[in-house]
Structure formats: C-alpha cells, structure tokens
C-alpha cells in the first residue's frame, strides 16, 4: 500500500495541533429515493471525541460508512492530514488508521478473543504467535480499562465485553480514528459510563473518536465537539461548551421539539380478573439461554408493568413464556382468569395478546414479503375470504391505514418488501400491526430501541393511551427513564428472577440500577454471563 506512513499516537497527545486528522469536504451520497448526504463537511482532530447527532435517517451512518470506505461518495473529497486520499474500500481506510465498530458486531462467536483480534491484524504472520498477541492485548487493555479474558470464546462474552473486544481489535491494528456506530444502544447504564471513561483515556492519548447517537445526555456527558445532522445535511457544529440540551434539540428537529408525554390520569386498576398471571414459572433454557426461576407476575387491566434489567437476564424468555412459545417447565400461566399454561401461540394471540419482539426484522416480519402481506400475518384468519381461499387485501390496507393514522404516522407503501424499510419504519409497522388487532394485553420488548425522538414519543404516547383505554401493558426495556416515566409498577429482572418490585415514585433510578447488575450481594461486580 502506498499510503503515507502512520505515526503512532503518543501519550503526549496531539500530533498536529494545527490541522485536522481527517477533513471531509462536500460529501454527497444518494441512494434510490433518498439523498443520504448532501454536501457534508466534517473535520476530525486528533485527541477529540466527536459526537455525530441526529434522528434516524439523518445520514449519520451513511457519512461514517463513506469515511470507512464502505460506501463511495458520489462527490466530495476526503483529506487525510491535509492530503487528498481515495477510499475505495475499508482496507484503504484501515491503512490510514481509520477503524469502525459496527452496530452489529463483526466477531466470530466460536473463536476466542485472541483469534478474533488476530484475524483483524494487518501483516499477520503465517504461524500465529498467540502468546505475543495476548501480551499486546493485555498491555492495551490494561492501559484503557478494556479488560477481557483473551482466551475466552466470544460467545461467552456479554455485549459490553464484545464491544471491548471490538475496540481492542482496532487499537491493536493501529487505528487512530475510531468510529462507533450507536455504541450505547445495547449497553446498560453502568456500561455506558465505563465506555465514556475509555473514551476519555483514548482522547488523552491522541486518538480521535467519532461516536454516533441520538441521546442528548450522552453527547453532553462525553463529547468535545458535536456535529448535528438533519436530513442529510449538517445542521450545526458546536463545541461542547457552546451546547445545551435545548440548542441541540433545536438543531436536530428544526423549530419545534416534540412534546414529552405525561403519564398520570388514567382510570384506576379494575377489580376484574388480571389479564395475565404467572405463578411460580420456571423455564428450561437450552444452551446459553437464561432460564426463568420462579417468576410471579400479575398484570391488570389499565396498568403498565415495567420490567427493568440488563438484556440477557431472561427478558426474551419472559416474553416468550407469555406468548406461549416457551413452555413452562414448572408453574402456571393464566390469561384473563383462565388457565392458559398449555395454550399455543395462536390461541394466546387470539385471546388478545399483542407482541412486539425486540428484533422486528428477525422476529416479527418476513423480509422478502410485502408490507401489506406482513400486515396480514398479524391475524391471517381475520382477513380471509371464502374460508381461506382468498385474502381480503382491501381490508388489510384499510386496517393498516387506520392503525398508522392512530400512530400519527404515514403508512409505508403497501407493495414494498419489508426489508427495504428502515429500522424505525419497521418498528412502526410491527406496532401498527399489533395494535390494529385491538389487544387486551400488550407485551413490548424494547419498543423504542433505535428509534428517533419523535417516534419514541409516539410509541410512548401509544402505550399510555392503550393503558388509559383499559389495556394492560408489559413493557420490557433497558431505558430506565422510559420505565420510570411510563410504568405504574416496576419489577427488576436479574438472572431469570424478579429481584425487586416498586412503584416508580417510591424508588430511584440508582436503586433499580443496582438491582439490575446484581449489586448489593457479595458478588456485586459480576456481570451477566
């Protein structure tokens, strides 16, 4: 490769205080139907944490993918230390010391941490000297608080640990600019804090960090400079000292920020039989899965029960037990007062349970099928004509339009395959489908994860409205603020057990956060496997 030699970052910090490390000029990138980036300029200096802020679809991911050589810009220039460079592939970018941690990690689960890191190193020798690599891993992880067990297979690691491995990988491959695409999306609050400490250390050593997010408190907590994007353009670039929450919101959304939803004022819980009752439910998790151990849970009409916890502590299993996908090894499940322990998924859904799984593309939709077909899948029987020999697409479309109207959104085109939709639109489609069935009980797993602020507000308002209309909601989330602002009752799930039950106004985020990570016991520092 004929790129300029790369000086190693020195502990003293900045290489060239004067010029930027990377300068993007007039980057434009169009996809069919969308102008993802429109003449974007961006400067990245060594030794800075640069937050890229914006709604879903604002063009943040596209921009960094151009910078990483993953996409080629239609026009515009990339300057590296003042020289114009061509980034034809991620290989070119890595040669310049640009590294990226994708939203979905790119590790190989069956291989160990060392092997995963070795795979990524440039100039890897034919016979691996793993010990030597381990030594380097240990040095670097010591310095930046990125401790992981180098010989552990990756599938055993928690999400936070996997992220550490991804960062280590880049550091060992001599990256000097680290790009992290929504790194906090999958982390628990204490993990986020640890990540920001890593950022601070790296910054001190002259690394540059770009991190993408749409959470304001995070930006204000750790960024040096902030670039806000809106509809493919740079809406503004500020220093941290100039930025306030309201100025950033104004830049992100233009004139009017979306209104916060308020909780109080629904009917009090009724004396009718509870919508859902789990009595001493155990499950037998296979392989790596968590098993539920003695869950007692009650959801009444007109209340939102929030489940707090770090993901991987039995959230999926809890949802699946209610849906009927996971068998109760012990214990019983009641729906609307009836013993529903042995009911099939179809029967549970037919009784009015709506389900919003955590991964809408993988778990709720068929990617190659059209939007309207996916909509009909929510309740195929309702849309059949002539005992199933035809499908009433007219009423599917009508219901879909109505459901989206209720959400205050425009319905996506009916005939587009679902995989062409963005993450946010997909989530909305699943929501619209499940709510169109007029359910009695809504089980929602991370329903706002990865959504932009207006969509988050819309979803929250919807859940509250459902509650006020006398429905029950089980809200499983990692966002404590969301749980606190929406829930009537709050339970904490840790390693398959419910370890706390509160009224939100009688506890604090801090207390719940401690229970979420199992703190308080003798093994407070342990993380979920």
Nearer to other proteins, 349 or 460 (CB): 349
d(CA 70, CA 139): 30
Token output for 461: 């308002």
Q: Which is nearer to other proteins, 119 or 325 (CB)?
A: 325
The C-alpha angle with vertex 229 and arms to 223 and 231, in degrees rounded to 5, equals: 165
The answer to whether residue 71 forms part of the interface with other proteins (CB under 8 A) is: no
Angle value at C-alpha 274, between 271 and 280, nearest 5 degrees? 135
E strand or H helix at 512: helix 509-516
Instruction: Give the integer Cα–Cα distance in Å for 1 and 138.
Output: 29
Of residues 341 and 507, the one with the C-beta less far from other proteins: 341
345 forms part of the interface with other proteins (CB under 8 A): yes
Distance between CA atoms of residues 250 and 264, nearest Å? 27
Residue 6 interacting with other proteins (CB under 8 A): no
Residue nearer to other proteins on the CB measure, 430 or 483: 430
Is residue 340 within 8 A of residue 327, CB to CB? The reply is no
Q: Does 289 bind other proteins (CB under 8 A)?
A: no
Confirm or reject binding of residue 357 to other proteins (CB under 8 A): yes
Q: Which stretch binds other proteins (CB under 8 A): 116-124, 158-166, 256-264, 347-355?
A: 347-355
CA distance linking residue 243 with residue 214, whole number of Å: 15
Site membership for other proteins, residue 259 (CB under 8 A): no
Q: Is 352 in the site for other proteins (CB under 8 A)?
A: no
* Under rule CB under 8 A, residue 209 binds other proteins: no
**Binding to other proteins in span 392-421, by CB under 8 A:** 415, 417-419
Specify whether the CB–CB gap between 49 and 209 falls below 8 A: yes
Stretch that binds other proteins, among 247-255, 354-362, 451-459, 491-499 (CB under 8 A): 354-362
**Smallest distance from the beta carbon of 107 to other proteins, in angstroms?**
17
Q: Is 428 helix (H, G, I), strand (E, B) or coil?
A: helix
Q: Is residue 402 exposed (0-12), middle (13-18) or buried (19+ Cβ within 10 Å)?
A: middle
Q: Which is nearer to other proteins, 303 or 434 (CB)?
A: 434
512 binds other proteins, rule: CB under 8 A: no
The yes or no reply on residue 255 touching other proteins (CB under 8 A) is no
DSSP letters of 463-475? Answer: HHHHHHTT-EEEE
Q: Provide the Cα torsion 525, 526, 528, 529; round to 10°.
A: 150
Q: Which residues of 105-114 are buried (b: 16+ CB within 10 A; e: fewer)?
A: bebeeeebbb
Residue 274 CA to residue 301 CA, distance in Å, equals 7
**Near other proteins in 222-241, by CB under 8 A:** none
Question: Would you give the end-to-end CA distance of the chain in angstroms?
Answer: 41
CB of 400 to other proteins, least distance (A): 15
Q: How many residues interact with other proteins (rule CB under 8 A)?
A: 39
Number of H helices, E strands in the chain: 16, 22
Which residues in 358-387 contact other proteins (CB under 8 A)?
361-369, 373, 376-378, 380-381, 383-384
Residues within window 304-333 making contact with other proteins, judged by CB under 8 A = 323, 325
Question: Could you tell me which of 151, 6, 20, 120 has the C-alpha nearest to residue 79?
Answer: 20
Q: Is 34 in the site for other proteins (CB under 8 A)?
A: no
R_g of the chain computed on alpha carbons: 25
- Shortest distance in whole angstroms from residue 261 CB to other proteins: 28
**Which of positions 423-442 make contact with other proteins (CB under 8 A)?**
423
Q: Is 62 in the site for other proteins (CB under 8 A)?
A: no
Q: Which of residues 94-153 bind other proteins (CB under 8 A)?
A: 103-104
Minimum distance from CB of 109 to other proteins (Å)?
17
Residue reference for tokens 């991987």: 312
Task: Supply the minimum distance, in Å, between the C-beta of residue 380 and other proteins.
Answer: 5
Find the part of the chain contacting other proteins (CB under 8 A) among 5-13, 48-56, 186-194, 345-353: 345-353
Closer residue to other proteins, CB minimum distance, 148 or 323: 323
- Least Å distance, CB 271 to other proteins, is 30
Q: Minimum distance from CB of 306 to other proteins (Å)?
A: 22
Please state at what angle helix 423-436 crosses helix 453-468, rounded to 10 degrees: 10
Among 29, 162, 349, 460, binds other proteins (CB under 8 A): 349
Q: How many CB atoms lie within 10 A of CB 84?
A: 10
3-state secondary structure of 503: coil
For other proteins, give the closer residue by CB, 13 or 423: 423
Q: Which residues bind other proteins (CB under 8 A)?
A: 103-104, 323, 325, 344-350, 355, 357, 361-369, 373, 376-378, 380-381, 383-384, 388-391, 415, 417-419, 423
């Amino acid at each position: 490769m004929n790129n300029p030699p790369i000086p190693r970052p020195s502990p003293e910090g900045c290489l060239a205080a004067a010029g930027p490390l990377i300068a993007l000029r007039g980057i434009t990138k169009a996809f069919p139907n969308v102008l993802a980036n429109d003449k974007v300029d961006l400067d990245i200096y060594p030794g800075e944490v640069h937050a890229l802020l914006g709604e879903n679809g604002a063009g943040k991911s596209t921009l960094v993918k151009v910078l990483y050589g993953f996409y080629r810009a239609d026009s515009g220039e990339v300057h590296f230390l003042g020289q114009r460079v061509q980034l034809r592939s991620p290989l070119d970018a890595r040669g310049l010391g640009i590294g990226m941690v994708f939203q979905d990690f790119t590790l190989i689960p069956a291989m160990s941490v060392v092997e995963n890191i070795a795979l990524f190193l440039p100039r890897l020798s034919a016979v691996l000297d793993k010990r030597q690599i381990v030594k380097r891993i240990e040095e670097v992880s010591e310095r930046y608080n990125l401790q992981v067990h180098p010989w552990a297979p990756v599938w055993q690691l928690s999400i936070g640990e996997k992220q550490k491995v991804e960062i280590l990988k880049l550091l060992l491959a001599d990256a000097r600019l680290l790009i992290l695409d929504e790194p906090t999306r999958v982390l628990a609050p204490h993990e986020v804090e640890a990540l920001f400490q890593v950022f601070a250390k790296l910054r001190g050593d002259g690394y540059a960090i770009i991190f993408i997010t749409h959470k304001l408190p995070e930006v204000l907590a750790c960024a040096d400079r902030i670039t806000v994007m809106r509809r493919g353009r740079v809406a503004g670039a500020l220093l941290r000292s100039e930025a306030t929450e309201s100025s950033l919101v104004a830049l992100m959304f233009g004139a009017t920020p979306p209104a916060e939803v308020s909780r109080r004022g629904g009917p009090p819980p009724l004396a009718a039989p509870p919508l859902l009752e789990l009595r001493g439910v155990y499950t037998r998790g296979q392989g790596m899965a968590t098993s539920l151990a003695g869950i007692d849970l009650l959801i009444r009409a007109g209340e939102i029960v929030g489940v707090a916890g770090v993901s991987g502590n039995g959230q999926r299993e809890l949802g699946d037990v209610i849906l009927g996908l996971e068998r109760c090894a012990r214990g019983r499940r009641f729906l609307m007062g009836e013993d529903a322990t042995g009911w099939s998924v179809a029967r549970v859904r037919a009784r009015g349970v709506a389900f919003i799984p955590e991964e809408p593309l993988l778990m709720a939709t068929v990617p190659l099928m059209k939007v309207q077909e996916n909509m009909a899948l929510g309740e195929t029987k309702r849309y059949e004509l002539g005992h199933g020999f035809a499908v009433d697409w007219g009423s599917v479309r009508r219901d879909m339009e109505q459901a989206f109207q209720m959400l205050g959104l425009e319905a996506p085109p009916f005939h587009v395959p679902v995989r062409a939709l963005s993450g946010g639109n997909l989530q909305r489609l699943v929501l619209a489908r499940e709510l169109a069935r007029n359910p009695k009980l809504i089980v929602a797993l991370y329903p706002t994860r990865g959504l932009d602020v207006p969509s988050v507000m819309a979803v929250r308002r919807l859940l509250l409205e459902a509650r006020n209309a006398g429905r029950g909601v089980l809200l499983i989330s990692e966002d404590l603020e969301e749980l606190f602002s929406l829930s009537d009752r709050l339970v904490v799930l840790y390693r398959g057990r419910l370890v706390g039950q509160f009224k939100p106004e009688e506890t604090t985020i801090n207390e719940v956060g401690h229970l979420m990570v199992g703190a308080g016991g003798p093994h407070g520092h342990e993380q979920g496997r």
